[in-house]
Structure formats: C-alpha cells, structure tokens
Amino acid sequence: MTTGTADLTRDPATRRRTGRRLAALAAGAAALALTACGAAREGTSATAPTPTASATPTASAAAAVSATSPAREAPSATARPTTRPASGTPDCRTADLSMASAGSSGHAGSGTAYLALANRSGGRCALAGFPDIRLVDAAGRALPVRVRHHLAAHRVVLAPGGTAWTAVTVSHVPSADDEGAPCDPPAAALRLTPPGGAGYLAAEGAWRACGGTVEVDSFTAGRPPAA
C-alpha cells in the first residue's frame, strides 16, 4: 500500500523532528502483536460510519480478545440471514468462529496485522469475500475509517476446526507539521464481522488513526505467512 508523505525539506529542525517521530512509529508497528484467541462480543455493527480516516495499531496495543467464551450474536432487526449457496455450505455465522492473532509485519509507512478465524462449529461453513472492519472508541462508538479491499474476493469453505485468515494493513505516517501526539485519538478496539454476518469479533488495543486508508484482504484458507 502506498502512503503519500508531505515535503520534509523545509528546514533541518523539521527534518530531525519528523524523522524521530516516523522512526518511533515504525518501531511500534514492527513490534505489533495481537496475542489472544478471539470470541465475539454481543452487539452489531448496525450503522456504517462515513469513511474518512485510517488507523494503525501500536506496540502498546497488543490486542486482547476473549480466549474462551464462544461467539455470540445479538438480535438485530437489520441482521442478514445466513445464506446457503448452491453448494449447500452455509455462510459462517459469527457464533461459529473464533479469532486469534496470526502475526504482524511492518513496512515503510504502514503496518499489517494478520487475523486467523477458526470454525468452532460442528459443521462446514463458508467465508465469502471481505470481512467488515470497524474501529471503535472505549464506549463502543464507531470511528470513521476509509476501507479499501485488497486482492480479488473469493470463497473459502472451512471444515470443523478449519482456519482462514485476513490481513489488515494501516498507515502510520503522521502529518509533517503535526506538533502534538501523532495519530490521535486512538481507537480502543478493532471489530471484525464475517461477510453476511451479525455481531463481531474484537481485537482490543490502541489502534491509532493517522488519516488515510485501512486495507483489508479477502479471506484465504489456512495460516498466513507471518504465522
């Protein structure tokens, strides 16, 4: 993913100040770790925010997702029913899945978190396309993000115990003239809803908004390269 940066050649003091800030952010992204297994919390992503901003997890934001409780879906008047394609395999419900960290990587100007979803139900289910990604504050309110889908969408069928993964890549480059704390305010958690599902799986931590995009991969069967 490409992130544009402002002209940093205005004077030596600006170059030194900006260089220190970007170096610290790059180190934070390289140390990113989402550490626990995931289970859905009650709640639905009923209203999509107007996409306007981006976010990045930091080294202090080791995401915490409940390790033992099963996924739960809250009733919602707008929740879409589980679909059953011609193949006979239904879509995975949030309650069918658990989520865990599958590693991370840092790049110039961005960081990537890999999330693995496992089928904890007793039957086969499918993940088709892209997950819905939300960033929320400590009160659970959705923060504005601009989401870009990466790679072509495809359908993955999971046997009981089977795993698929997705990658979330975020910008961590602040504005060159940012004199305050960069990338504030932080989100308190990332919420993931499977395609066609309701409820969510939560990765908690200080995901910092820097302005730009959040890039989300389609689901791929198995474990990610960073696992």
Q: What is the pLDDT of residues 141-173, one digit of tens each?
A: 988 878 889 888 989 999 999 999 999 988 777
Task: Delimit the domains of the chain by residue range.
Answer: 34-221
Buried b (16+ CB within 10 A) or exposed e, 191-201: bbbbbbbbbbb
- Nearest CA-CA partner of 105 in 97, 96, 114: 114
Rounded distance between C-alpha atoms, residue 18 and residue 174, angstroms: 9
Give alpha helix (H) positions in 31-82: none
Rounded distance between C-alpha atoms, residue 65 and residue 204, angstroms: 6
- Residue 55: how many CB atoms within 10 A of its CB? 27
User: For residue 31, which amino acid is it?
Assistant: A
**What is the pLDDT, as a whole number, of residue 8?**
36
The 10s digit of each residue's pLDDT in 96-133 is 999 998 888 887 777 888 999 999 999 999 999 999 99
Region of 199 (left: φ > 0; alpha: ψ -120 to 50; beta: rest) is: left
User: Region 4-15: what's the mean pLDDT?
Assistant: 43
Both tokens of residue 91? 């879509």
Local confidence band at 181 (pLDDT 50, 70, 90 cut-offs): low
Both tokens of residue 51? 């996409």
**What is the pLDDT, as a whole number, of residue 87?**
57
**What is the pLDDT, as a whole number, of residue 130?**
95
Residue with tokens 């289910």: 125
Higher pLDDT, 4 or 178: 178
Report strand pairing: 142-143 vs 132-136.
antiparallel
Report strand pairing: 56-57 vs 200-208.
antiparallel
Least confident of 35-49, 97-111, 139-153, 197-211: 35-49
